[in-house]
Structure 1
Amino acid sequence: MSAASRAPLRSNRSSRTTHSTRVRRRAALTAGAAVAALLVTACGSGGTSGGGGNTNFVTGTDGIATVAEGKRTPAPDLSGKTIDGKTLDVADYKGKVVVLNVWGSWCNPCRAEAKYFAKVSKEYAGKGVQFVGINTRDTNLKSATAFEKDFGISYPSLYDPTGKLMLRFEKGTLNPQTVPSTLVLDRDGKIAARSLSALSEERLLKMLKPVVAEK
C-alpha cells in the first residue's frame, strides 16, 4: 500500500480519536455540573421536599405551602440537646403555635433571614407563639452560638449536626439538602405551613398569622 493510500486511514483514526475525546469531555462536564447543583441545594433558596409522600401541602405562588386544618399530620418527636447544652422537647409547647426554623451558621440565606426571625419571635412571644431553631451541619458549636449572638436570636435551637432530626419527618415534608427551611405547627402540634426557602419578614408573617388566628 502506498503512502498516499495510507494517509486517509490515519486521518480517519485521528478524527475518531478526537470525537471520542470530545464525548468524554462533555460527559465529564455534565457530571461536574450535576455535582455542583447538588452542592448548591445544600444551602439554597428553594427545592422540592424529600420526594414522594402525601403530606397534603398546597403551594401558593409565593412558595409558601399550607395544609388545611382537617388534613394536617403531627410533627415527629423533636427532642434533644440545644446548642447551649440544655434539654428541649418541642412537644412541651403543645397549646402554642410553634415556628421551626432549620438553619446553619455556614448558610448565607440563613444569615439573610435571621434578623426577621429574631424580630418576629420577640413580637409574638406574648401571643402564644414559640420559635425553635434546628441547627444543622454545624460541627463547631462556637460558630452556632456566635450566629445567635450576632443576630440577637433569643429562642432555643436543637443541635442537629448530622441532620437526624430532619429525617424524622414524614417523607415529602422537608428536604435535608434545603437549608434554610421553616415549618409552622398549629396548637395541636400538627404541621400547618412550610417554606423551603429563606423568608422575608413579610413572608414569615404570612405563614404565621393565619395559624395564630385559628381558634
Structure 2
Amino acid sequence: MSVSPAFRRRRTLTLAAAAAAAGALTLTACGSGGTSGGSGDTKFVTGTGGIATVAKGDRQNAPELSGATVDGKQLDVASLKGKIVVLNVWGSWCAPCRAEAPYLAKVSKEMKSKGVEFVGINTRDTDKGPAQKFEQEFGVDYASLYDPIGKLILRFPKGSLNPQAIPSTIVLDRNGKIAARALMALDDTKLHQMIDPLIAEK
C-alpha cells in the first residue's frame, strides 16, 4: 500500500511534536521545578514555601534504593530505617545543586547527632569524576548513590512525593516512609522546615 505525501507530512509533524515535548521535559530539569497541590489520590499538600508534606497515617513506603555510591562503596537506604533520611537528587552539572550544596553539607553535620542521615542520589553524570570533585568542593561527606540514567529515581511510586526535578529533596520518616518533598534548591532554613517536624514526631 502506498503512503500519500500528505500522510507522510502529518506523521513527520507528529514525530517532531513528540520530540519537542520530550525536549521540554528535559529542559525543566535542573530548574526550580514545580509544585503539585494535594488531591484525594495523592494525600499530600504543598505549602506556600514549596514544601509538600504527607500526614503520618497517609505516607507511602520509599522504594528500594541501593547500589554503588559515587566513591565505589555499596549503600542500601533500607539499612537506615529508624533514622530520618534526607534524600537529595543532584548532578554536578546543575547550577541550583551547586547553590544548595553548602547548606546540605552544613545541616547534615548539624543533624547527625539527632538521628538524621543524608544520602545523595547523583544523576546524569556519565562519569563519576565530576561528581567526586563536586563532593570535595562543597565538603559533602555523606554518601551519594550513583544513578547516571535515573533508574533509582523512577522507582518512586506514582502519586507519591516523587522526585520531579533536579534538584529534588525528599525526607523519609523513621519508618522509611515518604514524608516531605521540595522541588527546588534549599537553604538551611527550608531544610529545617522539612526535618524538624519529623524529629518531633513520636
With structure 2 as the length reference, what TM-score do the two structures score? 0.84
Matched, 1:207 2:167: no
How far 1:105 moved relative to its partner? 0.2
Counterpart residue number, 1:43 = 30
How far 1:76 moved relative to its partner? 0.5
CA distance in 1 between partners of 2:31 and 2:170 (Å): 17
Matched, 1:84 2:71: yes
How far 1:37 moved relative to its partner? 4.0
Q: Structure 1 unaligned runs (5+)? A: 1-29
C-alpha change, 1:161 and 1:35, in structure 2 (3 Å) is closer
How far 1:212 moved relative to its partner? 1.1
Alignment of 1:29-108 (within 5 A): 37-47=24-34, 54-108=41-95
Equivalent position to 2:133, from 146, 168, 172: 146
C-alpha change, 1:81 and 1:62, in structure 2 (3 Å) is same
Contact 1:41 1:47 in 2 (8 A): no
Alignment of 1:130-145 (within 5 A): 130-145=117-132
Contact 1:184 1:192 in 2 (8 A): yes
Equivalent position to 2:162, from 174, 177, 192: 174
Counterpart residue number, 2:152 = 165
Contact 1:55 1:73 in 2 (8 A): no
Counterpart residue number, 1:13 = none
Matched, 1:120 2:114: no
Counterpart residue number, 2:176 = 189
How far 1:123 moved relative to its partner? 0.2
Counterpart residue number, 2:9 = none
How far 1:55 moved relative to its partner? 3.2
- Give the AA of the match of 1:99: V
CA distance in 2 between partners of 1:89 and 1:175 (Å): 18
SS at match of 2:113: coil
SS at match of 2:114: coil
Counterpart residue number, 1:19 = none
Contact 1:53 1:171 in 2 (8 A): no
CA distance in 2 between partners of 1:45 and 1:139 (Å): 22
CA distance in 2 between partners of 1:32 and 1:90 (Å): 35
C-alpha change, 1:33 and 1:169, in structure 2 (3 Å) is closer
How far 1:46 moved relative to its partner? 1.5
With structure 1 as the length reference, what TM-score do the two structures score? 0.79
C-alpha change, 1:162 and 1:123, in structure 2 (3 Å) is same
**How many residue pairs get matched?**
183
- Give the AA of the match of 1:124: M
- Give the AA of the match of 2:51: I
Structure 1, residues 71-104: CA drift from partner, whole Å, max 9, x if none?
A: 0111000000101111100000000000000000
- Give the AA of the match of 1:62: G
C-alpha change, 1:92 and 1:35, in structure 2 (3 Å) is closer
Range moving further from structure 2, 193-202 or 99-108: 193-202
| Percent identity (aligned) | 66
Q: Whose Rg is larger?
A: 1
SS at match of 1:125: helix
How far 1:174 moved relative to its partner? 2.3
How far 1:150 moved relative to its partner? 0.3
CA distance in 1 between partners of 2:166 and 2:157 (Å): 17
